[in-house]
Amino acid sequence: MCSVDPDGVIEMTRATGTLDISKGDVMCRKCASAVAEVVLRVRDAYCRDCFLAYFTHKFRSTIGKSKQIHPGDRILVGLSGGASSTALLHLIREGLQESSHKKLRFDPVFLYVDECVLCGSMDEGCDHVHKVVEQVASLGFQCYVAALEQVMALQPVLPVLRTQEWKEMKHTVDENLRKKFCELFTSCKSASAQQDLHDQLLQTVLRQCAHSLGFRKMFLGDNSTTLSVRILSQVALGRGSQLPARVHFKAPSQSVEVYRPMRELLENEILHYLNLQDITVLRPPTFQPKNTSIASCTEEFVRSLQNDFPATIPTIFRTGDKLVSTTTQAEKEHDSSADSLTSDDFCALCGSTLDTEKGEASALHATVVSQKYSSKRPQEINAVPVQECGKVKSDGETSPDPGGGMCGCAKAGGDCSKTNMNVDQKWEMSKTLEQCLCYGCRVTLRDLADTGLLPAKVQATVAEQKQRKIMKEQIQDFLL
């Protein structure tokens, strides 16, 4: 076999002895005239100026070489308050202030999604929101604030723009949505399902906010370390076909294009940049699974391997860059012709192109057939009475509603989201729901105790798709 590597994959060698620059006697390997302050790739020492020039060049060239961002483009930048997005905020500010031809010429607006519903008290959440918006505003940018729980609402909730008046106000939260969100999360039976559901819902909120604010383009702060972990964990979670959309520079979705301008930068490079620039990272609380999940295991594995073998992340990352899926082709067609794909071709939960139409000679079909014959309909097992919400309908009745499935108070705009369906209806509904989901979401939802707790928008999309399918079957014989 040929031993020449045409793609320049870096040889995996164990790191031995990081270069010690603490005594101040090591010179920069690039300019050789200043004392080194940063060590990259174990033995490459750089002075402050050479490192910052290298770092900002890597960021700007990622945007420049793509030729996707045009002067005057309005871009919504998703901000988590972590290291990567804080560096992105400062890199954008520096880029816009440049006077030379290197100047960035797009128009950024920032968006912070508050996740305190999952990990902290409401007052603590308010504090973090104020700190993040202050940081953005101090650099002269506008910042919108949304909350993770708003994904449970049927109609998209508009994010709040940070203004001077808003600063005086308390961060408002919708208790009803918070309650529904917590119920959904606690019904997840595994940490992997919880983490995956969190990721999908966060992406949904970001997309919804961008769409409702009229943005066509969005920046996210994913760096090459987080993307390498994602490449491996997404394959393990059954989302391999979605890799291009989740790790490439540009990810077209139904309404908003997502870009990742930090993707060429390693996490330790970002930390060096923040340290040298003396920038504070706020790190507001974000979701952390209580038990070990597939994603957390993968992260631990990749990070520990990276410590010993510095080529680990670049190798995974470059490999991920080359991966394309058959559904990517469909997305490209969708790009060129807006009518080529209908909403029925997208997953009702995560919005990815459906990857479940693989024909009979596929591993997926074999799994579906196996599940079909190994699972029985509920009445074949036993007719267990259903849990009812017990709330009295507006007309005074508490009887189940076999038509719509939702209890009366939910239909009347009440706060109850529990269903009054019998076991058989629930089984039918979960089958219908599964047909509207991609493979990855199907795997996650198997660990959800009650699919009736899913966001109202997802349930409405499933009902719509089901209705369309029934209509299509009815008129099938009349179609040419």
30 interacts with Zn ion by CB under 5 A: yes
Which two tokens mark 427?
A: 């089984």
Q: Which stretch binds Zn ion (CB under 5 A): 207-215, 226-234, 322-330, 434-442?
A: 434-442
Residue type, 83: A
For residue 50, the minimal CB distance to Zn ion (Å) is: 3
Amino acid at 258: V
* Nearest approach, Cβ of residue 214 and Zn ion (Å): 25
Task: Pick the closer one to Zn ion by CB: 354 or 429.
Answer: 354
Indicate the residue among 34 and 341 with the shorter CB distance to Zn ion. 34
Our finding on whether 347 is near Zn ion (CB under 5 A) is: yes
For Zn ion, which is the closer residue by CB, 386 or 443? Answer: 443
The residue whose two tokens read 């959309």 is 245
Q: Which is nearer to Zn ion, 79 or 436 (CB)?
A: 436
From the list 76, 206, 436, 441, which residue makes contact with Zn ion (rule: CB under 5 A)? 441
Among 12, 18, 20, 31, binds Zn ion (CB under 5 A): 31
Q: What is the DSSP string of 367-406?
A: HHHHHHHH---HHHH--PPPP---PPPTTS-----TTT-B
d(Cα 426, Cα 443) in Å, to the nearest integer?
18
DSSP 46: E
Pair 160, 133: CB distance under 8 Å: no
Rounded CA separation 74/233 (Å): 32
Of 2-10, 31-39, 191-199, 335-343, the window that binds Zn ion (rule: CB under 5 A) is: 31-39
438 contributes a contact to Zn ion by CB under 5 A: yes
Q: Which is nearer to Zn ion, 51 or 317 (CB)?
A: 51
Nearer to Zn ion by Cβ, of 34 and 282: the residue is 34
| From 42-50, 75-83, 206-214, 219-227, span contacting Zn ion (CB under 5 A) | 42-50
In what helix (H) or strand (E) does residue 317 lie, and over which residues does it extend? helix 312-322
Instruction: Return the residue of 38, 39, 45, 47 that touches Zn ion, per CB under 5 A.
Output: 47
Helices (H), 213-293: 224-236, 243-247, 267-276
Q: How many CA atoms lie within 13 A of 320 on its CB side?
A: 29
What's the closest the beta carbon of residue 54 comes to Zn ion, in angstroms? Answer: 9
Nearest approach in angstroms of CB 36 to Zn ion is 8
Side-chain-facing half-sphere of 459: CA atoms under 13 Å: 21
How many residues sit in the footprint of Zn ion (CB under 5 A)?
11
Strand-pair partners of 218: 76, 258
In the bound state with Zn ion, the residue whose beta carbon lies nearer, of 213 and 350, is 350
Stretch touching Zn ion by CB under 5 A, among 46-54, 115-123, 147-155, 206-214 = 46-54
Give the pair of three-digit tokens for residue 142. Answer: 């506008």
Phi, psi of 438 (to 5 degrees): -75, 170
146 or 438: CB nearest Zn ion: 438
Question: Strands across the sheet with 107-114, in order?
Answer: 160-161, 143-147, 107-114, 74-79, 217-219, 257-259, 250-252
Q: Which residues bind Zn ion (CB under 5 A)?
A: 28, 30-31, 34, 47, 50, 347, 349-350, 438, 441
